[in-house]
Amino acid sequence: MTERSFASKLRRYYLLFTAGFGGFLLSLTLLEQEGMPRIWIGYLFMFATIVLYAILGVLSRTSNVLEYYVAGRKVPAMFNGMATAADWISAASFISLAGGLYLHGFDGLAYIMGWTGGYVLVALLIAPYLRKFCQYTIPDFLAMRFGGAGGANGEDNPAGRVVRIMAVMATIIVSFTYVVAQIYAVGLITSRFTGVDFSVGIFLGLASILVCSFLGGMRAITWTQVAQYIIILVAFLLPAIWMSVKLSDNPIPQVAYGKLLPKLSAREAVLQADPKEAEVRAIFQQHADDYQQRLDNLPASWEAGRRDAQRRLDQVKTRNASLLDIRSAERALIAYPKNPEIAASEWTEAHAYNLARARPINPHAEPYAGDAETSAIKRNNFVALVFCLMLGTVALPHILMRAYTTPSVHETRQSMVYALFFILLIYLTIPAMAVLVKYDIYTALVGSDFNHLPGWVSYWANVDKLTPLFSITDVNRDGVVQLAEITIDADVLVLAAPEIAGLPYVVSGLVAAGGLAAALSTADGLLLAISNALSHDIYYKIVDRHASTQKRVTISKLLLLGVAFIAAYAASQRPGDIISLVGAAFSLAGSTLFPALVLGVFWKRANHQGAVAGMIAGFAVCLYYMLHANPVLGGSVTGQWFHIAPTSAGIFGVPAGLLVMVVVSLLTPPQDSQTSALVDYIRAPEK
């Protein structure tokens, strides 16, 4: 079959798929109007999409090495772009990013810039050269480039082996933290929308991931990811377009919210000046001051507080008050901190919480709000974060792997353009979504009567009891909603947006399915990156050079299974720490792999010693800074250099890696003529 007819056939299939998906949505809308209960819509969406991915996986099963590792190198540029976009749009970008922008305004846009600008580096510096190199993994490239001539059998020489193992370790560290976060998101979405237990949700999602990548490797996940991208796109654009029409009569949200932004700023100014808002903020300030006072008087304040709680309980008991009052007094005594140390940490937290809620409104469009010094620190952190995210993008193995799957170097370059285009369809809508929802909440919800709250408010306030996603309490008891009385979690915004906009519940189900698709597609790519690194780079290249192709694929599938279960187990432990380390993984990956990858192509003089030293230096500087400056990891805020947050450690790690790599390369002899020929080859135009 020629490439062109293959591409047109694919186009026909996916058009059919999109039409079928539209029909599915339509019929569910009709069913909802006929009175089908909400929970069934949730079930149908979850199971229909998971079964769909499984079918795609079964249809494209394979045991061929080339198909399994690089999808036979015949994915047309447009489809490779879609699959890359699905790889890229993770649960975090689909679910949390718009919420983050809602909460942080301009300062959150660092993620939009960083996660799109990285593609310039991938497309210009790495992807086309990897395709020309025409192997299977990233460690393949580094081992060949920095290892020099291998043995007759194609195995690495010892120098290449060292580089390969280091690259594999970097690949696994970053992919694993990332994949745990995705599986965690799968658990959250399925448990919230179908009511099944969190860990059951995890294993349901895991099953769909496994059927797909286990049976068909890269080939299966590519075709599944294209389908997943279509679902992600529909799920994200539909509510945004609807809100945009509703609030500004313009169906293109990316254009429409430009008009809303000045209106939003005007509304913010009105709310900021509102005396009722000031009253609520003053109440929170009062609470914060109380906690501060108690903290200052520890341990006497702890003693006094406990006596108070005890006395209150005695009072209600002697007064013969209602059972309800006695219960609540008992509960207050039980919940009281057990000793002054616990009291100190609890009160510090409560103080910070109340202080945060007492803060004035942060204007959405204003960059780096605050006095001159805070503003400068915020600005520097913004710049550092943007560059870190960009450099980290270059080192993400599941994205780079995609460079190998197209038919030619030219198509790899083209597929990068498509990838960024498809990513931007979502990423340019995310800030729009944040502004649209914010405007709706600021104008419709704020100022409404507490007795007539819309239905979604109580629904989302009750979804997760432990960490409320949405809360609203009448703090000043005037019966009217003030902005300062609302708290909203970053994760809930996109999921609740259809209901906030007054759309039928079907759209909420669709959005959940979109979030699930985003998490599953990214998890697919990452798991495959890990298992390929283990099976191809460790097992085939180092342990057993004579393994048959059949054996290699089987080993890879078994490893995939093992890694998937370890990741699912890690995610089922609800590891808050790992989730917060995802940002850090970007920095670590960038610092370790970026210098070696880029200098490997663009600087012939770069040699083995330089690469090893550069990778170690980048990794070490990055890790040192994180440990030194992150309170969670045992460092302290005073350890920060130039007030840069530890997540952006890559901003020091990458230059350190580059510098060390250049210096060590210059101090040691250049590599042999074979390496030089290799570099010439990957730079040369295709025949």
Partner 1 sequence: MDKIIRRHHWQQTRRMTGWLLLLWLVTTFCAAFFARELNNLSIFGWPLSFYLAAQGASLVYLAIIGFYAWRMRRLDRQARAAARIKP
Footprint on this chain of partner 1 (rule: CB under 8 A): 106, 109-110, 112-113, 116-117, 119-121, 123-125, 128, 254, 258-259, 261-262, 365-368, 375, 379, 382-383, 386-387, 390, 409-410, 413-414, 416-417, 420-421, 424, 427-428, 431, 602, 680, 683-687
Name the minimum Å distance from CB 58 to partner 1. 35
**Cα dihedral 416/420/425/430 (nearest 10):** 150
Residue number, 109 or 181, with CB nearest to partner 1:
109
Strand partners, 470: 488
Q: What single-letter DSSP state applies at residue 441?
A: I
* C-alpha 639: how far from chain center: 27
- Are 351 and 292 spatial neighbours (Cβ–Cβ below 8 Å)? yes
Host H or E run for residue 678: helix 673-683
298 exposure class (CB count in 10 Å sphere: 0-12, 13-18, 19+): middle
Name the minimum Å distance from CB 130 to partner 1. 15
Residue number, 305 or 655, with CB nearest to partner 1:
655
Name the minimum Å distance from CB 84 to partner 1. 12
Which ranges constitute the DSSP H helices of 533-607?
A: 549-572, 576-580, 582-602
Query: For residue 588, what are the contacts with CB-CB under 8 A and spacing of at least 6?
Result: 170, 173, 174, 619, 622, 623, 649, 650, 653
Residue number, 100 or 128, with CB nearest to partner 1:
128
How many other CB atoms are found less than 10 A from the CB of residue 634? 8
Residue number, 269 or 342, with CB nearest to partner 1:
269
3-state secondary structure of 370: coil
Name the minimum Å distance from CB 381 to partner 1. 10
Name the minimum Å distance from CB 616 to partner 1. 26
Residue number, 173 or 428, with CB nearest to partner 1:
428
43 exposure class (CB count in 10 Å sphere: 0-12, 13-18, 19+): middle
Name the minimum Å distance from CB 649 to partner 1. 18
Residue number, 484 or 645, with CB nearest to partner 1:
645
Task: Tell me which residue has tokens 């792999």.
Answer: 593
3-state secondary structure of 486: strand
- Are 80 and 415 spatial neighbours (Cβ–Cβ below 8 Å)? yes
Name the minimum Å distance from CB 383 to partner 1. 5
Residue number, 78 or 578, with CB nearest to partner 1:
78
Name the minimum Å distance from CB 264 to partner 1. 11
Name the minimum Å distance from CB 120 to partner 1. 5
Distance separating alpha carbons of residues 608 and 611, to the nearest angstrom = 5
Residue number, 346 or 366, with CB nearest to partner 1:
366
> Could you tell me the two tokens for 438?
């914010």
481 exposure class (CB count in 10 Å sphere: 0-12, 13-18, 19+): buried
Residue number, 109 or 585, with CB nearest to partner 1:
109
Residue number, 119 or 203, with CB nearest to partner 1:
119
Which ranges constitute the DSSP H helices of 336-441?
A: 340-358, 372-394, 397-400, 409-427, 429-440
366 Ramachandran zone, left/alpha/beta (phi>0; psi -120 to 50) = beta
Name the minimum Å distance from CB 526 to partner 1. 23
3-state secondary structure of 668: coil
Name the minimum Å distance from CB 682 to partner 1. 11
Task: Tell me which residue has tokens 């353009």.
Answer: 417
How many other CB atoms are found less than 10 A from the CB of residue 37? 10
